[in-house]
Amino acid sequence: MRMVDLIEKKRDGIALTEGEIRWMIERYVAGEIPDYQMSAFLMAVYFRGMTEEEMVAFTAAMAESGETVDLTEVPGVKVDKHSTGGVGDTVTLILVPLMGAAGYVVAKLSGRALGHTGGTIDKFESIPGVHTDLSPREIIDQAKRIGVVIAEHTQDVAPADKLLYELRDVTGTVPSLPLIVGSVLSKKIAGGADLIVLDVKCGDGAFMQSFPEAKGLAESLVRVGNELGKRFSALVTAMDQPLGRMAGNALEVRQAIEVLRGGGPEDLREVTLALGAELLLLAGEEGDEVTARRKLVRLLDEGVAWEKFLELVAAQGGDTQCVEDPARLPRAREVVEVRAPRAGYVRRLSARQVGVAAGLLGAGREVKGQEVDPAAGVELLAKVGDAVDEGAVLARLHLGERARPEEARRLVAGAFEIGDEPLTPGKLILARVR
Amino acid sequence: MRMVDLIEKKRDGIALTEGEIRWMIERYVAGEIPDYQMSAFLMAVYFRGMTEEEMVAFTAAMAESGETVDLTEVPGVKVDKHSTGGVGDTVTLILVPLMGAAGYVVAKLSGRALGHTGGTIDKFESIPGVHTDLSPREIIDQAKRIGVVIAEHTQDVAPADKLLYELRDVTGTVPSLPLIVGSVLSKKIAGGADLIVLDVKCGDGAFMQSFPEAKGLAESLVRVGNELGKRFSALVTAMDQPLGRMAGNALEVRQAIEVLRGGGPEDLREVTLALGAELLLLAGEEGDEVTARRKLVRLLDEGVAWEKFLELVAAQGGDTQCVEDPARLPRAREVVEVRAPRAGYVRRLSARQVGVAAGLLGAGREVKGQEVDPAAGVELLAKVGDAVDEGAVLARLHLGERARPEEARRLVAGAFEIGDEPLTPGKLILARVR
């Protein structure tokens, strides 16, 4: 078999066999297929796509390209979630302890911020003392002990995905449905859970900006995922404005704490409950969605999820006093306000611009390996549908050490569109795909 | 400027500017753009194509990426030719001395065999003593002295083309019109001639297998070439069956000698005269095509072209006794015959299969750098339209040192299709593009 023949086959629109795909991924991870051939292949996939059979083989080959987290020795039902990335999306920090409180095992592997979207690992690590670099052994032991783990994705799990993602990033081949499907699912398949819920974000601040694209991705993810012997479900959720009122690491931890204590912004709580209920139904719990949500609401309101969160923070070395008293979390030395230029109703609030602004304030990284500032970010005081007076504070910018406040200010000010007509915010859960 | 942005632009079907293309080629030749980005770009070009303005900029940037052969100090009109490659295409060995005999300067840079097509340099070097590794200085001096040169294309001339061609060869991006145009023309532009005729081969043994494809390539070549300040003309010529009756290095030299002495196969002579006449017309010689051909026929029939060939061979160190007496050219130790399985008319003779067979006998190379066997090749005793008896010799296989005669025999036998109905061979010159 020669790689050039597989490139030409794909280029000419002919589906590759499972054996060909497996050979290609194995040889690539072994360093025997050069990047210049793989990038030509990826661009051919961009134009030609993949059949569902090819996606299944591609995902399986990537999932099997390195270590897998084997949770079989952990008793209980193992669940997992994944979001395609948005702004203010701190659902994982809430859903992991919530599902733990409901009696499920969640060994969540997460990534770091890149581009305008945050990363769960950066957020979790903004709690002083928390470490996330756990070995597979440590993950399994903690899962056995307390049922919940949030660990950094290492390159030992699905290394093919890591290599391919880095190559796609510099070769214009990121926005390709089959490549996204392979990337998302390979990590979930290697992650060891049985039931997985996917949150496919849709809108201005998401990777998929239109509903048909997002729905199509959700459908492919669920179909291919189910083919691979796990049970998947997906929600398509709105990401036109940020979720919640915070974009930034410690800021989002504060927000997660509010929800875990039974409060917090309604939209963040809503998405968390919808994803959690979906997992309970996937697990075959009795009753319908209403029953499932009621159970989760009780776990939030009665403090069971909160107790599980404290356990999780403590297990990973975190200072629980800082979460008991969020005022002790990292705080910016300087805060700048963005005010409304006129009275009216917020008609639009660009998630993408807020995300980019949070990055400019220090919450994100422009290149891999850069440090993020845990205190930096954007706090939103108004969201879509809110009435505002002229001069009212729309947002507070929390300046990190290397913040570029002027650019960030312009972006956040421009992210708000204020009009005369009142507006009801659109639906949050746009579709469910099972 | 970032290469990834140029890749995405091309991927999305947006034309690149001249500045962007120039930047890309310069940085690539300097080793600052990695192959994995260039190959993704090339695949995007495969799917999206290039505008004529892009092709002009791309060709110019490649032509200027290294040394150019500056023939300004050589008096006279400088002409050149290029063939897109076929089987038995030994036209260059005839046309160079013929144009020299007509008073033109021809400093021809040529390549070596790869794949199923031969290379002029390998053919010329099958004459004992001939060397072709001339420096630009030596090329200019010989052009001044005798008007004709056949030298190997070094990587100093249009190095971008050499780098890109090697990358295209292993990334499935060879068959792309704009990339072919850039590759062909950049070498001609850097080659120093003023008037250039292109032989775009069409058919089973050529790169372009259909007439519309070949015609389209010829048109793009001429349009883009003329934009670059040289005068180009192109013929589309048939390559369904091999040209002449030989495929192999010394075998094709023998064939060229026959034509240079006023004889030889009609089709080979015809294509040579058509290309030569086109050059005379490009040069503005008085009269029409008929006049031009008559002049060239006389130069062949009266031995003027032959004398120029002897001069050329001698100037490059070749043993002229071997060309005076072709029996002294390298000869295979063993010859195997392929016979007709039935009586009838030859209705088809696959140039590609004959070319591959010649390679298997030792005339070509499977990987770069391999030695070719000067004596190896295929000699055809019947061509399309010929009547054959059962058991008549259709071809003789001249076995090289590392020949795979059985495979070659099967290929050559299979290359012939013999039927009951007589058949007139198709046209040789399919189109002229000015």
Return d(Cα A400, Cα A370) in angstroms, integer. Answer: 13
Give B171's contacts in chain A (Cβ within 8 Å). 4, 7, 36-37, 40
- Return the residue of B nearest to A13 by Cα: B47
- Residues 17-36 in B contacting A (C-alpha not used; CB under 8 Å): 34-36
In-domain check, residue B373: yes
In this complex, do B34 and A36 lie within 8 Å of one another by their Cβ atoms? yes
Q: Tell me what pLDDT residue B111 has.
A: 86
- Our CA-based measurement puts residue B174 at a distance from the nearest CA of chain A, in whole angstroms, of 10
Residues from chain B contacting residue A14 (CB–CB below 8 Å): none
The pLDDT tens digits of the residues spanning B415-426 come to: 999 999 999 989
Q: With contacts defined as CB-CB under 8 Å, which chain A residues touch B37?
A: 39, 170-171
CA distance B322 to B315: 15
Say what the pLDDT of residue A274 is: 98
Same domain, B315 and B373: no
**Structural domain count of chain A:** 3
Q: Which residue of B has its CA nearest to A167?
A: B36
Residue type, B242: P
> For residue B38, which residues of chain A lie inside 8 Å, CB to CB?
36
| Inside any domain, residue A211 | yes
Of A40, A46, A47, the CB nearest to B171: A40
Taking only the tens place, the pLDDT of each residue in A155-185 is 788 999 999 998 998 999 999 999 999 999 9
**Yes or no, beta carbons of A40 and B43 under 8 Å apart:** yes
Q: Rounded to whole angstroms, how far apart are CA atoms A123 and A93?
A: 8
ipTM of the complex: 0.88
Lowest mean pLDDT among A101-110, A224-233, A239-248, A368-377: A368-377
Cβ distance of A171 and B42 shorter than 8 Å: no
Question: How far does A166 lie from chain B, in Å, by closest CA?
Answer: 11
Residues whose CB is less than 8 angstroms from the CB of residue B141 and which lie 6 or more positions away in sequence, other chains included: none
**Are residues B285 and B338 located together in one domain of the fold?**
no
Q: Please tell me the least confidently modeled range out of A156-170, A208-222, B23-37, B302-316.
A: A156-170
Q: Do B40 and A11 touch (CB under 8 A)?
A: no
Rounded to whole angstroms, the Cα distance separating B339 from B348 reads 15
Q: Are residues A110 and A204 in the same domain?
A: yes
Percent of chain A with pLDDT over 90: 89
Residue B236, in any domain of the structure: yes
Alpha-carbon distance of B172 to A44, in angstroms, equals: 10
Q: Which residues pair with A398 in a beta bridge?
A: A335, A377
Q: Provide the 10 A C-beta neighbour count for residue A167.
A: 19
Q: Which tens digit of pLDDT belongs to each residue from A184-226?
A: 999 999 988 999 999 999 999 998 999 999 999 999 999 999 9
pLDDT of residue A116: 75
The CA-based angle B176-B180-B181, given to 5 degrees, is 120
Q: What are the tens digits of pLDDT across the range B225-239?
A: 999 999 999 999 999
Asked if the structure places residue A240 within a domain, the reply is: yes
DSSP 8-state assignment for residue B336: E
Q: Which tokens go with B289?
A: 């095509």
- Cα–Cα distance between A395 and A419 in angstroms, integer? 17
**Which amino acid does the sequence have at B185?**
L
CB distance B420 to B383 below 8 Å: no
Q: Decide: A48 and A83 in contact? Cβ < 8 Å.
A: no
Question: Does residue A56 sit within a domain?
Answer: no
Q: Once rounded to an integer, what is the mean pLDDT over residues B114-126? A: 87
Query: CB-CB: which of B37, B47, B169 is closest to A171?
Result: B37
Whether the pLDDT of residue B367 is over 80: the answer is: no
What is the overall mean pLDDT for chain A? 95
8 Å CB contact between B83 and B201: yes
Closest-CA residue to B59 (of B225, B182, B230): B182
Give the per-residue pLDDT at B315: 98
The rounded distance, in Å, linking the Cα atoms of A359 and A378 is 9
| B64 part of a folded domain | no
Name the DSSP letter for residue B326.
G
Task: Provide CB contacts within 8 A for B380, sequence distance 6+.
Answer: B242, B245, B246, B247, B349, B354, B394, B395
Strand partners, B200: B236
Residue A73 located in a structural domain: no
CB atoms within 10 A of CB A26: 15
Query: In terms of C-beta density within 10 A (0-12 exposed, 13-18 middle, 19 or more buried), how is residue B316 classed?
Result: buried
Shared-domain flag, residues A277 and A348 = no
* C-alpha to C-alpha distance for A290 and B419, rounded to whole angstroms: 79
Cα A189 from Cα A191, distance rounded (Å):
5
Q: What is the least distance, in Å, from the CA of A170 to any CA of chain B?
A: 5
Residues of chain A with C-beta less than 8 angstroms from the C-beta of B34:
35-36
Residue B269 appears among annotated catalytic residues: no
The answer, yes or no, to whether residue A55 has pLDDT greater than 80, is: yes
CA atoms of B305 and B93, how far apart (whole Å): 11
Q: Is the pLDDT of residue A422 over 90?
A: yes
- In terms of domains, do B189 and B111 share one? yes
Neighbour-count burial of A12, counting CB atoms closer than 10 A to its CB (0-12 exposed, 13-18 middle, 19+ buried)? exposed
Q: Which residues fall within 8 angstroms of residue A186, CB to CB, at 6 or more apart?
A: A59, A60, A62, A63, A65, A158, A160, A161
Neighbours of A381 (CB within 10 A): 16
Q: How far is A247 from chain B (nearest CA, A)?
A: 28
Which CATH number is B33's domain given? Answer: 1.20.970.10
Is-catalytic flag, B108? no
The verdict on A8 touching B (C-beta cutoff 8 Å) is: yes
Contact residues on chain A for B40, CB-CB shorter than 8 A = 39-40, 42-43, 171-173
Cβ-Cβ pairs closer than 8 A, A with B, add up to: 72
How many C-alpha atoms does A416 have within 13 Å on its Cβ side? 29
Chain B CB contacts of A171 below 8 Å: 4, 7, 36-37, 40
> Hey, which residues 159-198 in chain B have their CB within 8 Å of chain A?
167, 169-173
Judged by CB atoms closer than 8 Å, whether chains meet at A167 and B36 is answered as: yes
Answer yes or no: are the C-beta atoms of A374 and A358 closer than 8 Å.
Answer: no
List the single residue in A3, A11, A39 with the smallest CB-CB distance to B36.
A39
Q: What is the pLDDT of residues A125-147, one digit of tens each?
A: 999 999 999 998 999 999 999 99
Is the CB of residue A212 less than 8 Å from the CB of residue A180?
A: no
B162 noted as active-site residue: no
Residue A7 lies in a domain: yes
B366 pLDDT band, cuts 50/70/90, is confident
- The position carrying tokens 């063993």 is B334
State the best of B4, B7, B43, B169 to mutate against chain A, taking most chain A CBs within 10 Å. Answer: B43
Question: How far, CA to CA in Å, does B51 sit from each of A294, B10, B39?
Answer: 61, 11, 19
Alpha-carbon gap, residue B337 to B341, rounded angstroms: 12
pLDDT tens profile B164-212: 998 998 999 999 999 999 999 999 999 889 999 999 999 999 988 999 9
Give pLDDT, residue B409.
97
Among B37, B43, B167, the residue with its CB nearest the CB of A44 is: B43
How far CA B244 is from CA of A355, B205, B238, B269, B309, in Å, comes to 69, 13, 12, 8, 19
Q: Which of A108-112, B51-55, B81-85, B194-198 has the lowest mean pLDDT?
A: A108-112
CB–CB contact B172 A42 (8 Å): no
Q: Indicate if the alpha-carbon torsion angle B323, B325, B329, B332 is positive or negative.
A: positive
Reading the block at residue B73, the tokens are 């100090």
Cβ <8 Å between B7 and A38? no
Res. A37 pLDDT band, cuts 50 70 90 = very high
**How many CB atoms sit inside 10 A of residue A229's CB?**
9
Check if B47 contacts A (Cβ < 8 Å). Answer: yes
Give residue B354's pLDDT.
97
- What does the angle CA A217 – CA A221 – CA A224 come to, to the nearest 5 degrees? 135
How close A176 comes to chain B (CA, Å)? 12
- Same domain (yes/no): B247, B357: no
Instruction: Judge if A119 and A214 occupy the same domain.
Output: yes
Report how far apart, in Å, the C-alpha atoms of A26 and of each of A19, B53, B374 are.
Answer: 11, 42, 41
Mean pLDDT, chain B, as a whole number?
Answer: 95
If asked whether residues B226 and B94 sit together in one domain, one would say yes
Domain that includes residue A386, residue range: 331-419
Residues from chain B that touch A47, judged by Cβ atoms under 8 A, are 43, 47
CB-nearest to B7 from A3, A47, A171 is: A171
B11 touches chain A (CB under 8 A): yes
pLDDT at B65: 94
Report the SS3 class of residue B120.
helix
Contact list, B8 vs chain A (CB under 8 Å) = 172
Q: Which amino acid is at B418?
A: I
Question: Could you say which of A3, A38, A172 has the minimum Cβ distance to residue B11?
Answer: A172
Flag whether residue B37 sits within 8 Å of chain A, measured between CB atoms: yes
Say if the Cβ atoms of B4 and A36 lie within 8 Å: no
Same domain flag for B355 and B232: no
Q: Most B CBs within 10 Å: which of A42, A43, A165, as the mutation test of the B interface?
A: A43
Amino acid identity, residue A94? I
How far apart CA B272 and CA B91 sit, in angstroms, is: 6
Q: Which two tokens stand for residue B19?
A: 């500045």
Dihedral angle, C-alpha A20, A25, A26, A31, nearest 10 °: 130
Do A403 and A293 share a structural domain? no
Q: pLDDT value at position A328?
A: 96
If we measure between CA atoms, which residue out of B97, B29, B80 comes closest to residue B300?
A: B97
What CATH number did the domain enclosing A181 receive?
A: 3.40.1030.10
| CATH number, domain containing residue A376 | 3.90.1170.30
Whether residue B114 is predicted with pLDDT greater than 90 in this model: the reply is no
Q: Select from A295, A324, A353 the last residue of a domain.
A: A324
B383 touches chain A (CB under 8 A): no
C-beta neighbour count of B341 within 10 angstroms = 13
Nearest-by-Cβ selection for B171 from A37, A169, A172: A37
Catalytic, B161? Answer: yes
Report the C-alpha gap between A352 and A204 in whole angstroms. Answer: 6
Q: Which residues contact B155 (CB under 8 A, 6 or more apart)?
A: B66, B162
Q: Which two tokens stand for residue B131?
A: 């060397």
The pLDDT > 70 percentage for chain A reads: 100
Q: Per the CB < 8 Å rule, is A170 touching B43?
A: no
Angstrom distance (rounded) from CA A143 to CA A155? 20
Pair A238, A189 in one domain: yes
| Residues A113 and A15 both lie in one domain | no
Whether residue B412 contacts residue B357, with contact meaning beta carbons closer than 8 Å, is answered with yes
pLDDT attached to residue A370: 79
Range from A59-73, A357-371, B383-397 that averages highest in pLDDT: B383-397
- Which residues does chain B have within 8 Å of residue A13's beta carbon, measured at their own beta carbons? none
Active site residues of A: 82, 161, 168, 183, 187
Site of tokens 């307390």: A146
Alpha helices in A147-288 (DSSP H): 159-169, 177-190, 211-227, 249-260, 266-282
Asked if B40's CB is within 8 angstroms of A171's CB, the reply is yes
CA distance A47 to A424: 39
Query: B412-415 long-range CB contacts below 8 Å, 24 or more apart?
Result: B412/B338, B412/B353, B412/B354, B412/B357, B412/B378, B413/B338, B413/B341, B414/B350, B414/B353, B415/B349, B415/B350, B415/B353, B415/B354, B415/B357
